[in-house]
Amino acid sequence: MVTADITIRGKNSINAASPLVIVDGVPGSMNTIDPNDIETFTVLKDAASAAIYGVQAANGVILITTKQGKKGEKTRVTYSGNVSWSSPVAKRELVNAYEYAVLYNEATLNENPNATLMFSPEEIEDYRTGALPSTDWYEAAIKKSAIETMHNVSISGGTEKTTYNASLGYIYQDGLTADNDYSRFNARMNLNSEINKYIKVGINASGYRGVSNDAWNGFVSVYQGVTREKPTNKVYNEDGSYTYSGVDNPVAIQGDKSGFRRNTQQEINLTGHATIQILPELSIKGVYSVRNYTSNQDGFKKHFTYGSGSNAYDSGLREGYDKYYNHNYYTGQVLINFNKSFGKHNISALAGFESYEHIYKYTEATRQGGGSDELPESLNTLDQSSQKNKDGGYEMARLSYFGRIQYDYAGKYLFEANLRSDASSRFPKDNRWGVFPAFSAGWRISEEAFIKDNVDWLSNLKLRLGWGKTGNEELKSDDIYPAVPTYTYNIADNATKYLFNNTLYSAIYEARYVNNNLKWATVTNYELGLEAGFLNNMINFELSVYKKKTNDMLLYPPIQGVIGMNAPAQNIGSVQNTGFDFLINHNKQINKDWNYSVSLNVSYVKNEITDMAGTEGPTSNDKIWNLEGYPIGSYYGYVADGFFNTEEDLLNCPKRLAAGQEKLGDIKYKDLDGDKKITEKDRTVIGKNFPSWTGGLNLSVGYKNFDLSALFQGAFDVDGYYTAEAAYAFYNGATALKRHLDRWTPDNHNASYPRVTRSSQTNFVTSSFWLQDASYVRLKNLTLGYTLPQAWLTKAGIANAKVFLTGENLFTFTGLDGGIDPEESNERGWSYSNVKKLSVGVKLSF
């Protein structure tokens, strides 16, 4: 299962950027909701509207409401299902055997002109003519397509007192490699009842169970083999056994022969709520939610071999693991609502209390050696003396009070004030509470008489502005108690030990320093917006300009290693995001048969670290740095300046390596500090991994019972940095890409790749040469639907029926080469990328 990675209006923090997801009023997750269960999906971007939701709202809020029954509605049963065929969006463009042999010989000579060549001229000619076979390992190892099925059945209805909606969903996704699949069951029930005219109660219950299966040598291992195997090697030996050439044969390692890896996820959500109408304008509501999420990860590596003689592979000792992770979330709310209108004045107020608790526990066990391939489901068959066990967990909690007042006069003048006070267990007692206010105002100019009575074509014109603060408690995921001393005890053989009476002992020791002055990071948001509607809202326009500033970021300054403990988090540093969101849409009913709509949205954000307070430097990926004056996650390295094309270049141009190590065809770098040599001081920011511009275009047209819709989505001004097998020829014994054919030679100085080499990594330092423009436009969805005429359905007892044909990710326009998906998350190309999908489906209501 691939989870969504969403960022709203830029990154507000180095540690976290994920928005808060609220499902039916309480915190939840959107990754496992059946899309058929969703009634509304709303994104809150500005501080004024998001502030009431408190922690994590600094990164935006996603509000999801699920389907409810309707009063007085007869029982309705709805079925929705589809079957899809998926294939990879991008296929790695690998060289064939002839191209490989030519490049390999050339790379050998580039490193040693006197070397013995791997391929003779006769062999190269045979590869060219096809007399010797060429293996396309991608075609051999990766499925051309995989099947996915989705089904959902729901029942809904209601009386004058009670409404209900229940659904059951199932999804199965076949993977692109053997024994790789995902299946999930979803269930949901929403029940609401009016006990009397004063009391309403309800319950929302939902859950899912998802199982992800993969072979022990799963998709990543297979894809590694695809990029490392040589096209001159065969899949099978003459006797039908698999070949082995020193790297994984991606066909041989697939399937259950290698063992299995499995992740079973399960979630149960129960929410109960009751509302008491004290007065016509005053009500009180209580909500309590329990959410349990578990993940059980287990796996077993079998002992298997393939190949023959000296060219044989042995998987080594059997091994297995069983890991169990358990999360419990408890949320309680008390909400008091007041609504009153008198004359042209309308007032609404909300006061509330919320408690939140998260309890996490885990257990991990591994064993190695011994065992039996016939009993892969149990660790007990493996060598008990090798077992390693670990457990742990944490508890955290928050307490919140909040209020909101909204006022409007005649629908023209709008005001809103929010105040929220949050306390978090992650902060020391004296700094536990944070207070976060927000204000907004709006002026619906179109309701003024001088517009309403004189400008017929202007149906809506509204000016709004907002200011607000929200809190952020996001530290490193393993730093739950930054203000409380924590201790570590490790009995592993390689663990730290202490000397007592000339004997080394494992001991409990303090893991890190604490910071008793730690407090909330704050995000201050300024926004100015304009909304307009024309020709009875046939054309609508919206523009929002904003500035967000995060202060007192929770960062970890460097500390001298001799101290022996990790540095505590501190409130240092700041980040700023400035940008705008633009939306325009147009819809028209041409006549009784034809209608259409067009919607365009464009967003721009400039992200900048304005203060790092001495913590500048690389992230866990040494290509990506956080530096003042630049966006979070900037690529940092040398600036490429063409190639060493002549002996004069080698003699006169600044060089990075010792004399004689750089050769003709190697990459030159700019001497930024002017000292006539290339050193680490010549490195600078060379790119960024987050787009400045994003956008989408929705098109739809309807004719009688037919409807056609298309969604284009894109991102611009963003770089991709790809390394290893995704960029370098013969890296770590790998093959080469088609793009490497345009390499530097004495006759090709304008090449897109330096001289090819087998083992030299002279050119592989981080530099702008390896950056690619990762901007793209993608046809995300194209759907053709047909609603069957009612006259066809009545006799069959069907209320509504629709059939549809959908294509996803059908076309992508990008400057990336090498067969890389622009939404690829792994710089080596090993992640499970997007798939191109064609679906046929039906939706029936009874």
The Cα 395–Cα 381 span in angstroms is 35
- The pLDDT value given to residue 492: 58
Domain ranges of the chain: 72-96+136-338
- 322 contact partners, CB below 8 Å, separation of at least 6: 296, 297, 298, 364, 365, 366, 379
- The pLDDT value given to residue 148: 96
Torsion of CA 771, 773, 779, 780, to 10 degrees: 50
Q: Which residue has the tokens 């109408």?
A: 277
**CA neighbor of 293 nearest in space, from 324, 262, 321:** 324
The Cα 243–Cα 228 span in angstroms is 14
Phi, psi of 611 (to 5 degrees): -160, 125
- The pLDDT value given to residue 501: 79
Residues pairing with 181 in the sheet:
174, 213
The Cα 644–Cα 311 span in angstroms is 40
Three-state DSSP at 656 gives coil
- The pLDDT value given to residue 303: 93
- 343 contact partners, CB below 8 Å, separation of at least 6: none
Contact 551, 524 (CB under 8 A): yes
- 49 contact partners, CB below 8 Å, separation of at least 6: 61, 440, 466
- The pLDDT value given to residue 489: 67
pTM metric for this prediction: 0.90
Say how many C-beta atoms besides its own lie within 10 A of residue 564's C-beta. Answer: 11
Token pair listed for 835: 């798939």
**What parts of the chain have a pLDDT lower than 70?**
1-5, 16-17, 47, 489-496, 560-564, 818, 825-826, 829-833
The Cα 784–Cα 799 span in angstroms is 21
The kind and range of the H/E element at 138 are helix 137-141
How many angstroms separate the most distant Cα atoms in the chain? 97
The Cα 300–Cα 323 span in angstroms is 12
Contact 259, 374 (CB under 8 A): no
**CA neighbor of 770 nearest in space, from 687, 665, 650, 670:** 687
- 43 contact partners, CB below 8 Å, separation of at least 6: 8, 19, 60, 61, 62, 63
Burial letters for 686-707: b for 16+ Cβ neighbours within 10 Å, e otherwise? bbbbbbbebbbbbebebeeeeb
**CA neighbor of 338 nearest in space, from 397, 288, 405, 274:** 405
- Amino acid identity of residue 85, one-letter, is W
Q: Where are the alpha helices (DSSP H) in 430-482?
A: 449-452
Contact 531, 541 (CB under 8 A): yes
DSSP string, 41-98: EEEE-SHHHHGGG-TTGGG-EEEEEE----TTPPPEEEEEEEEEEEEESS---B--HH
Q: Which residue has the tokens 């284009």?
A: 712
Contact 779, 710 (CB under 8 A): yes
**CA neighbor of 636 nearest in space, from 616, 611, 613:** 616
Please give the DSSP secondary-structure letter assigned to residue 566.
B
- The pLDDT value given to residue 309: 76
**pLDDT tens digits along 726-758:** 889 998 888 999 999 999 999 999 999 999 999
- The pLDDT value given to residue 71: 92
Sign of CA dihedral 38, 40, 46, 52: negative
Residues pairing with 149 in the sheet:
83, 172
Sign of CA dihedral 224, 228, 232, 233: negative
Phi, psi of 42 (to 5 degrees): -125, 140
Contact 422, 433 (CB under 8 A): yes
Pair type for strands 776-787 and 706-716: antiparallel
- The pLDDT value given to residue 818: 66
- The pLDDT value given to residue 480: 84
- The pLDDT value given to residue 336: 98
Token pair listed for 348: 């609404």
Token pair listed for 762: 């002279």
Give 331's Cβ-side CA count (13 Å radius).
21
Three-state DSSP at 747 gives coil
- The pLDDT value given to residue 566: 73
User: What is the C-alpha R_g of the chain?
Assistant: 31
Token pair listed for 131: 């007399």
Say how many C-beta atoms besides its own lie within 10 A of residue 768's C-beta. Answer: 20
**CA neighbor of 434 nearest in space, from 445, 423, 425:** 423
The Cα 763–Cα 678 span in angstroms is 13
